[in-house]
């Protein structure tokens, strides 16, 4: 009865939400009539050629907005062109993105190639391979990218990390970390640059103070910097091997902490899931392989229906969570193999995790060990979810 009631409540909420939307799902969508509410569109190609008074949510291979939008947009696609003003915020993710009209709110964007060719009235938070900002920005910029060019006027501060940055006129402060910084305008605030090379072009001027590292190469004239110049020690970069060891230890400790929490919260279930691997080893591998392949496909299929989008998002979140915790039950299983008389699940987990980490970092076989652990863990979780019978009880120690 409780399940039926919960289902009805969720269904009512979903239907209430959907009733406030105009929903279009076609291979090719060409919107020619004005929309007075929120718009949801999904297809191979979406072209908005009439005003939308609400929000736009769109998923397509190609998205073109040729008419004004009164509220926010949240769009994802391969090729995106925004050719008409957006009165609200912009959330844009795609392969190639061209923003050719102003956005009145903040812009959050991620993609391969991003071209902002008009003004942004709010802040910009952006991540991409190649980023070109030609319009003016009234707020701050937070950017992460490979090659970043900013030729417009930035009224706020800029915090940027990337391979190469070319920046023009900026009213606020600039903080950059990366390979090369090229200043091609007037920066009214302070500049902090942790870069290998800093170049001041002929028309460059920094009115504030400049802070660089002791290893930075500063190219330019002294009179181009009106403030003081100070140097800070360069960050010591860890060798690749040390990084690998560091992140391996960090990840192992995080996973161990997560495992201890799970064991303390649900000791009986954790023990049962580990015992299932012992009793049905090959079946767990099969279930794990099916779960690894089928779950993302199922989520994509469910996402193709409007009502199914929230369900698909929840499914993906659970899928990621299952992958994260899968190794915990495998570690307990390994611990039980080597310490058969030990009853403390926490100790079994610690011993099993240590053995797993050692095996997973052995050259050539480490990848196989990681894959087996993932499949076994996903398999026992999948069996626990779908099995109608109760999981086997923990083995009693004689």
Residues 6+ apart with CB under 8 A from 188: 170, 171, 172, 207, 208
pLDDT higher than 90, residue 314:
no
Q: For residues 138 and 281, give the distance between their C-alpha atoms in angstroms, rounded to a whole number.
A: 60
- What pLDDT score does 161 carry? 92
Name the average pLDDT for the chain: 84
Sign of the CA dihedral with 340 first, then 342, 343, and 349 last: negative
Q: Which of 14-18, 41-45, 113-117, 286-290 has the lowest mean pLDDT?
A: 14-18
| pLDDT tier for residue 4 given thresholds of 50, 70 and 90 | very low
How many residues are present in the chain?
398
If you average pLDDT over residues 277-305, what whole number do you get? 85
Q: For residues 59 and 274, give the distance between their C-alpha atoms in angstroms, rounded to a whole number.
A: 41
If you average pLDDT over residues 57-83, what whole number do you get? 90
pTM for this structure?
Answer: 0.62
The secondary structure of 234-297 as a DSSP string is PPPPPPHHHHHHHHHHHHHHHHHHHHHHHHHH-HHHHHHHHHHHHHSHHHHHHHHHHHHHHHHH
Q: For residues 242 and 235, give the distance between their C-alpha atoms in angstroms, rounded to a whole number.
A: 15
Q: 219, 203 in Cβ contact below 8 A? A: no
- What pLDDT score does 396 carry? 45
pLDDT higher than 80, residue 336:
yes
Q: For residues 204 and 193, give the distance between their C-alpha atoms in angstroms, rounded to a whole number.
A: 15
Q: What is the pLDDT of residues 219-269, one digit of tens each?
A: 888 889 999 989 888 776 656 666 666 677 777 788 888 888 888 888 888
Q: 178, 164 in Cβ contact below 8 A? A: yes
Q: 337, 267 in Cβ contact below 8 A? A: no
Q: Which of 78-87, 254-263, 380-389 has the lowest mean pLDDT?
A: 380-389
297 vs 97, 311, 315, 326, 374, CA distance in Å? 27, 13, 11, 20, 18
- What pLDDT score does 307 carry? 60
Q: Which long-range contacts (CB under 8 A, 24 or more apart) does 79-86 make?
A: 80/111, 84/48
- What pLDDT score does 394 carry? 45
- What pLDDT score does 304 carry? 67
Q: What is the pLDDT of residues 105-126, one digit of tens each?
A: 999 999 889 999 999 999 999 9
Q: For residues 358 and 360, give the distance between their C-alpha atoms in angstroms, rounded to a whole number.
A: 6
| pLDDT tier for residue 83 given thresholds of 50, 70 and 90 | very high
Q: 354, 255 in Cβ contact below 8 A? A: no
Cα 144 to the center of its chain, rounded Å: 13
Q: 184, 167 in Cβ contact below 8 A? A: yes
Percent of the chain exceeding pLDDT 70 equals 86
The secondary structure of 155-201 as a DSSP string is -S-EEEEEEEEEE--BSS-EEEEEEEEEE-SEE-S-EEEEEEEEEE-
Q: Which of 55-64, 139-148, 250-259 has the lowest mean pLDDT?
A: 250-259
Q: How many CA atoms lie within 13 A of 290 on its CB side?
A: 12
Percent of the chain exceeding pLDDT 90 equals 39
pLDDT higher than 50, residue 212:
yes
If you average pLDDT over residues 282-289, what whole number do you get? 90
Q: For residues 348 and 329, give the distance between their C-alpha atoms in angstroms, rounded to a whole number.
A: 10
Q: Which of 21-25, 88-92, 101-105, 160-164 has the lowest mean pLDDT?
A: 21-25
pLDDT higher than 50, residue 196:
yes
Q: Using only C-alpha atoms, what is the Rg of the chain?
A: 27
Q: What is the pLDDT of residues 342-365, one digit of tens each?
A: 888 888 888 888 888 888 878 888
């Amino acid at each position: 009865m409780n399940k039926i009631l919960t289902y009805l409540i969720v269904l009512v909420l979903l239907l209430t939400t959907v009733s406030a939307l105009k929903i279009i799902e076609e291979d090719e969508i060409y919107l020619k009539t004005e929309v007075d509410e929120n718009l949801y569109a999904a297809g191979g190609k979406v072209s908005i050629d009439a005003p939308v008074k609400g929000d736009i949510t769109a998923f397509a291979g190609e998205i073109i907005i040729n008419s004004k939008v009164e509220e926010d947009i949240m769009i994802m696609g391969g090729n995106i062109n925004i050719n008409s003003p957006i009165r609200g915020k912009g959330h844009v993710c795609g392969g190639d993105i061209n923003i050719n009209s102003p956005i009145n709110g903040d812009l959050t964007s991620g993609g391969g190639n991003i071209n902002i060719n008009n003004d942004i009235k709010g802040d910009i938070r952006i991540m991409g391979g190649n980023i070109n900002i030609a319009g003016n920005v009234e707020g701050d910029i937070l950017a992460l990218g490979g090659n970043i060019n900013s030729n417009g006027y930035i009224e706020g501060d800029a915090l940027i990390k990337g391979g190469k940055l070319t920046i023009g006129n900026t009213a606020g402060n600039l903080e950059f970390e990366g390979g090369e910084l090229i200043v091609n305008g007037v920066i009214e605030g302070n500049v902090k640059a942790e870069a290998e090379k800093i170049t001041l072009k002929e028309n460059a001027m920094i009115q504030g103070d400049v802070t660089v590292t002791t290893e930075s190469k500063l190219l330019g004239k002294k009179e181009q910097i009106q403030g003081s110049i100070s140097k800070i020690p360069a960050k010591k970069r860890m060798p690749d091997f040390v990084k690998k060891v560091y992140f391996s230890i960090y990840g192992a400790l995080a996973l161990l902490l997560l495992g201890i929490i799970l064991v303390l919260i649900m000791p009986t279930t954790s023990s049962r899931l580990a015992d299932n691997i012992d009793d049905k080893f090959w079946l767990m591998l099969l279930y794990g392989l099916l779960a690894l392949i089928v779950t993302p496909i199922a989520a994509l299929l469910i996402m193709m229906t409007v009502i199914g989008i929230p369900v698909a998002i929840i499914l993906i979140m659970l899928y990621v969570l299952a992958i994260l915790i899968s190794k915990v039950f495998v570690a307990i299983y390994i611990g039980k193999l080597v310490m058969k008389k030990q009853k403390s699940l926490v100790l079994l987990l610690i011993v099993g995790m240590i053995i797993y980490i050692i095996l997973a970092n052995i050259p050539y076989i480490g990848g196989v060990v990681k894959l087996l652990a993932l499949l076994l863990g996903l398999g026992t979780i999948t069996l626990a979810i779908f099995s109608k019978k109760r999981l086997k009880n923990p083995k009693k120690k004689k």
